[in-house]
Amino acid sequence: MDDTHPCQPYIWDGTRKTLVTHGKVFEASTILHGMELLQDEVKVMVEEVLVPFALVLVPTNEVYIVAQAFQCFLA
């Protein structure tokens, strides 16, 4: 059974929303990088970067902008 589906994460700057990437959501995953996801978080793989310098929602030491997240998993 495939637990994935496409997603299009947006950022909101206070006046408008901007599509920053195309990705894939992994619904059944509850652990990411050894940490349990919170109830309102999902595991996402970034498949295409549209706004490279947009900040990621849950940054790590290695990934804090969308360009660094290409082909990586994020929450």
Tens-place pLDDT, residues 23-62: 999 887 888 778 888 888 888 899 999 999 999 887 888 8
DSSP state of 53: T
Residue 72 has pLDDT above 80, yes or no: yes
For residues 6 and 24, is the Cβ–Cβ distance under 8 A? yes
Residue 1 has pLDDT above 60, yes or no: no
For residues 48 and 36, is the Cβ–Cβ distance under 8 A? no
- The predicted structure's pLDDT at residue 74: 79
Find the range with the poorest average confidence among 10-14, 15-19, 40-44.
40-44
The CA distance from 44 to 4, in Å, is: 9
For residues 44 and 27, is the Cβ–Cβ distance under 8 A? no
Nearest to 27 by CA among 5, 49, 48, 11: 5
- The predicted structure's pLDDT at residue 33: 77
